[in-house]
Structure 1
Amino acid sequence: MPAHPNEPSLVSSEIGNLWMTYQEKTMILRFIEYFLAHVTDDTFHSILEDLYAQSQQAVETITLIMEKEKAAIPVGFKPHDVNEGTPRLWDELYDPMFLHMMSKIEINLFAMYVTMSYRQDIRQLYQQLTIQSQHIFDRLSTFLLEKGVLVKPPMVTMPKEVNFVHELDYLSGYHLFGESRSLNTIEVSLIHHAIETNLIGMQLMIGFAQVANNNKVREYFIKGMKLSKDVETSLGEFLRQDYIEPPATHAGKATHSKIAPFSDKMMMYLTSLLATFGLGSNALGSAFSLRSDLPVTMTRLASKILSFVKEGGEIMIQNGWMEEPPQIEDRRQLTKA
C-alpha cells in the first residue's frame, strides 16, 4: 500500500531503479571520500564537495521514499568499504577522469529512469539527478580540457554539400576493388568513445589487480585489463586504417601502490557495473554503424564482455557480495498446485 492515500504505490520499474540508484550513489560516495583525502587542486576539490552533497541528498531522498513505502533499505556501500589512510592508487588526474566517465554513465541511466517512472515525485527525482549529472560532467570536461588530458576526437573537413548513398557497397564497408571505405563521422565518434572509456577502465583494472585481497578476484581484474586492451586494440585498428591515431593520454595512470583503498566487494561491483554498461554501449555502436565489418568486431567483443560479466557475477555470489534486487512475487508456483 502507498504511504499516503492520495499517492500511488511504486511500480516495479520505480522500485528497481531506486534500488540501482542507491547502490551506485552509495558507491560514488565512498570513492569521493577517498578522492577528498588526496585532492590538492582547489577547483577539483570544489567539484568533489558539490558531487558529494548531491549524492548524499539522493541517498537520503531514496531512503525516505523507501521508509514511507515500508520497504527494506538496501545495504549498498558503507564507510567501511573504504580503507582510510591508504596511498594513491592512481595519479592525481585519474580521479577527475574517472568521475568524468561516471558522470556520462549517470546521465544515460537517470535519463532512462525518467522514462521508466510514473509517480510524479520519482520523475522529478530523476529529472533533477539528470540535470545534476550533466552539470558535473560539464565542470569536469572544462577542468580536464584545461589540464590538457581530455583527448578530443579527430578534426574533419567541414561538409560543403549534401550527398546521398547510391551504392549498396556502402553498407558492406567495401568498395568494388575490395578496399574498405573510410569511416564516417558517426562511426569515428562511436569508436573514439569506446576506446576512451576502455583506457580509463584499463587503468582501473590495473589498480584493482594490484591491491585485491582475494586471489580469484585479482585474477578477474587481470582478465579485465586484457579485455580492455583487446577492445582498444581491435577498435583502434579501424582508426589506424584511416590514418587516425586512437585516443591516448599521458595522465590517469595507476601508481605502484599495493595497499587496497577499497573492499573487494566494492571493486567487484564497480567492475560489474562498467562491464554491463559497456555491453549497452557496444550494442549502440553496432546499431549506428553503417559498415558491416564494425558490428562483426563489436559482436565478438560483446561476447567476451558478456562472459566477463557472468564470471564476475559468479565470484560475487560465491563471496556473498551480490545484493539481490527486489523480487516480484513468484506466481508460477500457482500453476503447479
Structure 2
Amino acid sequence: MANNHHPKLTASETALLWGSYQNDTLGVCMISHFLQTVEDEEIRPLLQFALDIAKQHLRKLTAIFKEEKHPIPIGFTKADINLNAPKLFSDTFMLYYIQGMGAMGLNTYSTALPNAARKDIRDYYTSCLHSSSELYNRTSDLMQQKGVFIRAPYIPYNEKVEFVEKQHFLSGWIGDQRPLTSNEILLLFANLQRNMFGHALLTGFSQIAQSKEVKHYMTRGAEISKHHMEIFHKYLTESNVETPMTWNIMPTASTEPPFSDKLLMFHTTAINALGIGYYGASLAGTARKDISASYSRLMIEAGEYSADGANLMIKNGWLEKPPSAPDRKALVKS
C-alpha cells in the first residue's frame, strides 16, 4: 500500500522557507538593478544566471506556501526598486556581490538541509546547494580570469609534523606572541574581506538612503566595518602575513536611490547577522586568547548595531514578523 502521509511543515522548515523567501526577493531586486547598469558583457550572463536562480527559488517557495495554505511573505517587491536609477556600484563590486551570494547560499543551505525533515524540502535545499556551488564557481572562475580574485595569504609549508608542547600556544595577552596558525590566518583574512565588502556596500547605501536616520545608520555601519578591518589587518601584519586587498569596489558618486530604505535596512541587518555568526565560528576556531577576546568584543559591537537596526525597522513598520508560535496566554484571555 502506498504511503500517502504528507506531514505539515515543522517550525524549523517554516522558518527556513520564510527566510529563503525574504532573501530571494531581496536578491531579485539587487541583481535586477545590477543588470540595468552593468557595462562588462562578460559579467552580464553571470548576473542573469544569479537572477534566474533567485526567481526559480521564488516559484518553488510560492508553490510550497500555497500547497500548505500558508500566507505568502511580502519580502521585497517592485515598490522597493527603481530600475531607472543610475549605476551605484562598479562592475567589479557586482562580481564580488554574486560571489558572496554563492558563498552565503552554501553556508545557509548547508544549515537548512539537516534541519529539514520532509523529503520535498530536503530535495529543494539540495538543489539550492548545487546552484549555489555553480554560482560561486562560475563567478570565481571569471574573477580569476579578470585578475580580481583575492587569494588568501601564503605561508611556507612546514618541513615536518609538530605537536604543541607549551601553554604559551594559547596565550597572547602579554610578552611575545606566537605567530598565527594557518587556521587563524584563514579566519582573520575571511573576516577582513567580508568587512571590506560590507564597508563598500554600506558606503553606497549611505549615499542613497532617503531617511536621515537610515543614512546615519548606514554611515555608522560603514565606520564599524572599517574599524573591524583595522583590527584584523593588525593581527595579520604583526605576524608578517601579507594581506592582499580588494580593489575597485567602492560605489560611484550617485545619490539617486535604486532601492527603498526598507530594503537597505533589511539587507544591512541580514549581513550583520551573518557577520556575528562568522565571528562566533572564528572565536571557536581561534586558540590565541587575545584574538578570541577581540572576536568577543566585536560580536558585542555588532550585536548592539543589529539591535538598533531592528528598532529602527520596527519604528518605520518595515520589519515583517516571522511565523511564530501562538500566544497561549492571550488566547486564554480572549
TM-score, normalised on structure 2?
A: 0.96
Find the aligned partners of 2:50 and 2:212 in 1 and give their Cα distance.
33
Match of 2:158 in 1: 159
5 Å-filtered alignment, 1:45-84, equals 45-84=44-83
How do 1:119-134 residues align onto structure 2 when only pairs under 5 Å count? 119-134=118-133
SS of equivalent to 1:93: helix
Question: How far apart are 1:312 and its partner, in Å?
Answer: 0.4
Q: CA deviation at 1:150?
A: 2.0
Alpha-carbon separation, structure 1, partners of 2:281 and 2:144: 26
CA distance in 1, matches of 2:282, 2:329: 37
Give the whole-Å Cα distance in 1 for the aligned partners of 2:267 and 2:209.
13
Whether contact under 8 Å (1:182, 1:242) holds in the other structure is yes
CA-based RMSD: 1.7
Counterpart-to-counterpart distance in 1, 2:234 and 2:30: 34
Which runs of 5 or more structure 1 residues have no equivalent in the other structure? Answer: none
Taking the TM superposition and a 5 Å limit, the aligned residue runs for 1:208-287 are 208-287=205-284
Map 1:80-159; keep pairs closer than 5 Å: 80-159=79-158
> CA contact under 8 A between 2:47 and 2:98: conserved in structure 1?
no
Distance 2:215 2:290 in 1: 34
Q: Give the structure 2 partner of residue 38 of structure 1.
A: 37
Deviation readout 1:217-258 (Å, 9 max, x if unpaired): 000001101100111001110011012233412211111111
Q: Which one-letter code corresponds to 2:76 in the other structure? A: F
Q: 1:192 touches 1:247 (CA, 8 Å); kept in 2?
A: no
Matched positions, count = 332
Q: Distance in 2 between matches of 1:8 and 1:272?
A: 33
Distance (whole Å) between structure 2 residues aligned to residue 225 and residue 21 of structure 1: 26
1:334 Cα deviation (Å)?
Answer: 7.4
| Alpha-carbon distance between aligned partners in 1 of 2:146 and 2:191, rounded to the nearest angstrom | 22
| Offset of residue 332 of structure 1 | 4.6
* Structure 2 residue ranges without an equivalent (≥5): none
* 8 Å CA contact 1:100, 1:140 repeated in 2: yes
Contact 1:84–1:261 at 8 Å: present in 2 too? yes
How far, CA to CA, are the matches of 1:169 and 1:335 in structure 2? 59
Question: CA contact under 8 A between 2:40 and 2:91: conserved in structure 1?
Answer: no
Taking a change above 3 Å as real, the CA distance of residues 85 and 336 of structure 1, as seen in their structure-2 partners, is closer
- Give the match for residue 173 of structure 1: 172
**Residue type matched to 2:145 in 1?**
E
2:30 counterpart of 1:9: no
Q: State the Cα distance separating 1:336 from its structure 2 match.
A: 8.2
Any conservation in 1 of the 2:209–2:257 contact (CA below 8 Å)? yes
Cα displacement string for residues 162-196 of structure 1 (whole angstroms, at most 9, x for unaligned residues): 1000101101137xx81100001000000000000
Q: Which amino acid aligns with 2:195?
A: N
Paired with 2:6 and 2:202, the residues of 1 have a C-alpha distance of: 45
Letter in 2 for 1:101: G
Mapped contact 1:107–1:130 kept (Cα < 8 A):
yes
CA distance in 2, matches of 1:64, 1:249: 40
Distance 1:263 1:36 in 2: 18
* Most deviating of 218-227 and 95-104: 95-104
The answer to whether structure 1 residue 309 and structure 2 residue 306 are counterparts is yes
Q: Give the TM-score of the pair, scaled to structure 1.
A: 0.95
1:295 to 2:292 alignment: yes
Q: Secondary structure at the match of 1:43?
A: coil
Alignment partners' CA distance in 1, 2:237 and 2:299: 21
Displacement after TM superposition at 1:91 (Å): 1.6
Report the secondary structure of 2:91's partner residue: coil
Instruction: Return the offset for 1:80.
Output: 2.0
User: What's the offset of the Cα at 1:42?
Assistant: 2.9
Alpha-carbon separation, structure 2, partners of 1:213 and 1:134? 36
Equivalent pair of 1:196/1:247 in contact (CA under 8 Å): no
Question: Take 1:273 and 1:192, find their aligned partners in 2: how far apart are those partners?
Answer: 21
Q: Alignment identity in percent?
A: 30
Residues 161 and 90 (structure 1), Cα distance of their counterparts in 2 relative to 1, 3 Å cut = same
Find the aligned partners of 1:219 and 1:267 in 2 and give their Cα distance: 12
Contact 1:110–1:129 (CA under 8 A) maintained in structure 2:
yes
- Give the conservation status (yes or no) of the 8 Å contact 1:195–1:247: no
1 CA distance for matches of 2:312 and 2:113? Answer: 32
- The structural deviation recorded for 1:106 is 1.3
CA deviations 1:101-158 (Å, max 9, x no partner) are 2221111011100011000000000011011111100111111122222221111111
Runs of at least 4 residues off by over 6 Å: 334-337
8 Å Cα contact 1:19-1:74 kept in structure 2: yes
Q: Mean Cα displacement is larger for which, 121-130 or 33-42?
A: 33-42
